[in-house]
Amino acid sequence: MATAAARTMEPPCEITLENLFHTPEGRRVLTCLQCGACVATCPYGEQMDYPPRRIIALLRAGLVEKVFTNDSLLACVACYACKAKCPRQIDLTGVLLPLAKEQVLARHPELPAELQKALENKLRYGNPMGESPRKRAAWTATAGVPIRQLPTDPRPVDVLWFVECYCSFYPRGQDNARATARVMHALGVDFAILGNEEKCAGECGRLTWEPGLFDTLMDYNMTVFSKYKFNRIVTSCPHAYDAFKIRYPIVGFNYALEHTTPYVARHLEKLRPLLKRRLDYTVTYQDSCCLGRHNNFYDEPRALLTAIPGVKLVDMTHNRVNSICCGGGGGGMWLDTYYKTKGYERLSERRVKEAVATGADVLAVSCDYEISRFEDALKVLGHDKKMVVRDVMELLAESLEVQP
């Protein structure tokens, strides 16, 4: 594994605000047209005193310190909408905004308590909930199918399934994990999990304020990966997928990598004959920011959903690249109280209003953050009798003929 010293030699970790303009990404920042497309597309653009366009203008003028005078950048939920719409393709979400947020933190160390606690829990317990690491694989006991755990059975395996925190600990996430296990089992996949040795991949630490926390988790997970032999990593979490794809290679990650939804979609022709139970649902699908806008997996979840007999798929007004974030990225998972005190509309509530307007009875998702966010928003808005939230894997498992 690469040492910390070696890591600092590698882009993009070497980028700081001071040397930004000496890096390829920094030179791209200088090409900003000041067109304002980033602000216009940002779901919280009105709440930010310093949205991307202003940060760049102040950087160019040598006045960037102004950006750090207040904490309004906490409204950035790392949704990639600004990056997707920027005509200069500046990596606002992946590079500029985390650098700026880090400086805001340095000057405003009093993080909102909810976020502070989540980050501390990740460091101490390896998950944001503060759950005992020993309980990480407890959900497997009720999966209804055998699930191999590498720490107790370290034989080589085809797929190392990186389950991640919300699918491991959050009760509705565990439903999703159990459904995923059943789908993989039905497909005959040779898979295993890391069990209690898995820790959070750390992506939100990177995109919020804590690159040190991210590096700690990255080093830990890389050490665990190196203990076992496997052909690919498949993860249920788009945020972990991004972390492994974009940041972990800096310390030598070169494993084949897939997210559960496109992985299963790749095996659709094998799965299709097994989807025998008819589900007469009208389904609308939430394109998650990481899986959709950031990695272009728009067709795969739709192919899986429309393969289920009886499912009718309807799109929301904002879909695919124009999808609206659930508000959970960039630390937003743990900022609802902060946003409420500021009077911001929660993005999860903005989104479920649009989902309900389609007339669908199921809101399908492929991101482990979204079940909790959207179920909560449906309850708050009194729509929980009209619509349920289901991961694509849960719908597939429901349609499998053999249930546990």
- Residues near ligand SF4 (CB under 6 A) are 32-38, 41-44, 51-53, 56, 76-82, 86-88, 90, 92-93, 97
Cα radius of gyration rounded to whole Å, the chain: 21
Nearer to ligand SF4, 20 or 275 (CB): 20
CB of 355 to ligand SF4, least distance (A): 20
Nearer to ligand SF4, 36 or 404 (CB): 36
CB atoms within 10 A of CB 20: 18
CB of 78 to ligand SF4, least distance (A): 5
Nearer to ligand SF4, 27 or 278 (CB): 27
Q: Give me the residue label for tokens 């290679």.
A: 249
Nearer to ligand SF4, 36 or 212 (CB): 36
CB of 187 to ligand SF4, least distance (A): 35
* 275: Cα separation from own chain's centroid: 27
Nearer to ligand SF4, 51 or 128 (CB): 51
- Closest by CA to 245, choosing from 12, 79, 42, is 12
CB of 36 to ligand SF4, least distance (A): 5
- For 284, phi then psi, to 5°, come to -115, 145
Strand order in the sheet with 312-313: 312-313, 282-285, 362-365, 388-391
- Closest by CA to 371, choosing from 127, 170, 115, is 170
CB of 71 to ligand SF4, least distance (A): 14
CB of 111 to ligand SF4, least distance (A): 17
Q: Residue 235: exposed, middle, or buried by beta-carbon count in 10 A (0-12, 13-18, 19+)?
A: buried
Nearer to ligand SF4, 42 or 352 (CB): 42
Determine the Cα angle at 23 with ends 22 and 29, to 5°.
95
Q: Rounded distance, CA 13 to CA 85, Å?
A: 24
CB of 214 to ligand SF4, least distance (A): 17
- Closest by CA to 30, choosing from 95, 97, 88, is 88
Q: Rounded distance, CA 99 to CA 47, Å?
A: 19
Nearer to ligand SF4, 92 or 137 (CB): 92
